[in-house]
Structure 1
């Protein structure tokens, strides 16, 4: 997308700093101008997620100046890496370039190679801001680690081992909880999971084990597709592309069936797992019958969702398919290129044929406001998922707001997730508890309000 973006939800490719920090005991070394690393970190604190290991102001940075632009900055980068290796305890060091380094031609991969040849765990990635968004930077770093750290090895395929690629760390504020829930869901099938990022990951040992997986699983409409294609070419590893985040009963069961089928598991076994999980889920779900019967006339039913394509489609599908909401606007903000945008649109239209016109690709939050706010003023019975950008005007119009995307400054997020069977139940709790807290339900029925 060309032109200015007001109130964006992503950073430049250097946002891959957060991808590195999401790998336990991995340390980014940033080769950029002063302030770049700090800006990326501030964005990552959405939901007050903290610094991660070696994050925040601990991130080594060359802070390149005018002399480095004129004479080159690779010497300074080497010195920075030498210092980091001496004083910081890490299992992997990833050198990241900013715009300045990219413009003058400094090569982080070349510098990293000189250390790797000494047996040191150092990787270089060209993540200059002008290469794209933080989603692009995320893929660049993943491929750099695979090529330079994992390397050209002969796979020793382990039956039942799965590499999972899904959320972009920090970009999705729920990434830690989402990845943990995905791992737990897949492990119900008896599979072993390399989740690669977050608290549920074993760290670099999982990355070293990537070539040995029986297959790769991509849970994302488009981010990570280049990576699993790359792994297929490099190690011959097949992959399952599942473009919808599994939220709630129907989608979680469908997810388990697809993964089980691809893994070659016995259908009877997979169905027994699903039957057990569905029994628990729908026992809780049916327990809401009195709630809906008592308050149905006052409950919200219109749905607006803003955020990245993975979480937006997943949340929308659960609420439309199982809870009965009517999608009025689904605004995808991760700015995919033309090819990926077409794929996301096909996924959405397949899932929501009756609501296909509600999908909008728009990274500009101000433009999203101009589209949603007038409709909210006429509603009073809408639920809006989004960021701080949507929070203010949603509450001002008397509708219900919940967080689903960055930036988030009014909520602490630790392990929160809407993934899986339990995630769907939590989503319902959050919606209706927020409704009570906001005093949306009164003695006046919705019909009375419309007639007043």
Structure 2
């Protein structure tokens, strides 16, 4: 293969994918308790998307995911003659066989390209009183993070509907990590809800075991405000809710890890809401007492062995965990960032803000940021990074294990795909998640048998 052909291949393909396509938002639907996705797409789309996302940490999808998801399984016939009738029959069968509180029909590339009006088909069932909505999530719309917000707005528009009642003080709508895309989303959302409720707030969390399912979605318009806790995912949803229900929103770009970030986060929420300032301070005092007790005992180990552990690291992850980890590693652990590779392809309009965040991750500390989705490109970026002859710590994915071995470094898997881990309810955020993170990190870097082990 000539150099020119290799370059064409490099710029037009993606090796080692680290996200799904827009219809991968079926995982977000599955993460809503007692919600069922229905897909209008080709036979491979549903299985591939659920396979990629739900094998991330061996999470599994439970009630309404994986092989359970009903699909049109469109063939050449539907491409030529349209698939509306087949979708209609699929919805009828699903309503008959599968019990759910909400059904979400996701349109894939075939349906969108041939012009199937899935909205008209779904409307027939909506008029009969069934809790069902539709969303256009063809793969060409973007990745599953884009699809996540498409289905979120579809549910709000078609299922939650209009509202002109009173707002409920101290009630927050939380928009943060994308289910299944973020390996630790279950435990993370649980910890975020815990610290907010411990500070006197009530929280609609929408996804995972802490959610009450459609009841919480129906309560969206009643919230005092929306909280977007991520660099960019959720902003469009919050802007939409601001227009629809007149709800303000607070955008905090960094998911908090460790006492400093978490306490700052809670104070920002209290200041924005104008409520619970005293209760927030009491909660912070209690949590920091526990946190620093354990950190103090850990410091004995750190003081004795920490000097022998490399301080240089690289993070290869989506922007949500990338920014959060850098804040914790550089500002609270004193490690030195060498490079940050962001893999979730944030829209261009958000990249300047993300770059600015990385310019000030700690006092006097910034890190170089690269945006890359292709595994070959990511490998080249890391290989060309100056680690000053040391063995770096790579915070990345299962794809990056061979690269860490090549660099004689350490690997901690923190982003999709995590193929060597069982993740049930583990969290790395908040006060408690940070302690878990420290346990995992220093178990890895002090291992004597091999540097490249699972996290």
1:169-248 matches, within 5 Å, as: 169-248=179-258
Q: How does 1:29-44 map to 2 (within 5 A)?
A: 29-44=38-53
Instruction: After superposing the two structures, state which structure 1 stretch, 410-419 or 367-376, moved more.
Output: 367-376
Match in the other structure for 2:81: 71
The structure-2 alpha-carbon separation of the partners of 1:353 and 1:362, relative to structure 1 and needing over 3 Å to count, comes to: farther
Q: Deviations over 1:241-290 (max 9, x none)?
A: 01001000100000010011112125333222211111111111121222
**Contact conserved, 1:155 with 1:235, CA < 8 A, in 2?**
no
Q: CA deviation at 1:396?
A: 4.1
Q: Which residue of 2 aligns with 1:348?
A: 358
Among candidates 19, 22, 27, match of residue 18 of structure 1: 27
> What aligned pairs does 1:249-264 form with structure 2 within 5 A after superposition?
249-264=259-274
Aligned counterpart, 2:102? 92
Equivalent residue in structure 2 for 1:129, among 129, 132, 139: 139
- Give secondary structure in 2 for the equivalent of 1:437: coil
The verdict on how the C-alpha distance between 1:395 and 1:438 changes in structure 2, with shifts beyond 3 A counting, is farther
SS for the counterpart of 1:288 is helix
For the aligned residue pairs, the C-alpha RMSD in angstroms reads 1.8
Q: Matched residues in 1 for 2:334 and 2:435: separation?
A: 14
CA contact (8 A) 1:301 1:382 kept: yes
Offset at residue 114 of structure 1 (A)? 1.5
Give 1:7's match in structure 2, choosing from 6, 9, 16: 16
Counterpart-to-counterpart distance in 1, 2:394 and 2:50 = 27
Q: Name the SS for the 2:411 alignment partner.
A: strand
Normalised TM-score (structure 1): 0.94
Match of 1:168 among 162, 173, 178: 178
Shift, 1:379, TM fit: 3.9
Cα distance between partner residues in 2 of 1:35 and 1:90: 24
Does 80-89 or 421-430 show the bigger shift?
421-430
Maintained 8 Å contact 2:331/2:362: no
The alignment's TM-score, normalised by the length of structure 2, stands at 0.93
Contact 2:200–2:276, Cα closer than 8 Å, also in 1: no
Answer yes or no: is 1:311 the counterpart of 2:321. yes
The 2-side partners of 1:35 and 1:239 are apart by 38
Who is 2:67 aligned against?
Answer: 57
Residue pair 1:398, 1:440 contacting (<8 A) in 2 also: no
Alignment partners' CA distance in 1, 2:448 and 2:32 = 39
Unpaired runs of at least 5, structure 1 = 442-452
Distance 1:252 1:123, change over 3 A: same
Q: What SS does structure 2 have at the residue aligned with 1:431?
A: helix
- The 1:146–1:162 alpha-carbon spacing in structure 2 relative to 1, beyond 3 Å, is same
Query: 1:260-409 counterparts in 2 under 5 A?
Result: 260-352=270-362, 354-373=364-383, 375=385, 379-409=389-419
Equivalent position SS for 2:359: helix
Structure 1 counterpart of 2:5:
none
**Match runs of 1:431-450 below 5 Å:** 431-439=441-449
Q: Is the 8 A contact 1:373 1:394 kept in 2?
A: no
Q: Which residue of 1 aligns with 2:8?
A: none
Residue in 2 that maps onto 1:413: 423
* 1:105-120 equivalences in 2 (<5 Å): 105-120=115-130
Secondary structure at the residue paired with 2:383? helix
Q: 1:118 to 1:411 in 2, by over 3 A?
A: same
- In structure 2, relative to structure 1, the CA distance for the partners of 1:295 and 1:439 (3 Å cut) is farther
Counterpart CA distance in 2 for 1:350 and 1:302 is 17
Taking a change above 3 Å as real, the CA distance of residues 252 and 347 of structure 1, as seen in their structure-2 partners, is same
Deviates further, 113-122 or 269-278: 269-278
Structure 2 vs 1, CA of residues 182 and 366 (structure 1 numbering), >3 Å: closer, same or farther?
A: same
Relative to 1, partners in 2 of residues 1:317 and 1:17: Cα closer, same or farther, differing over 3 Å? same
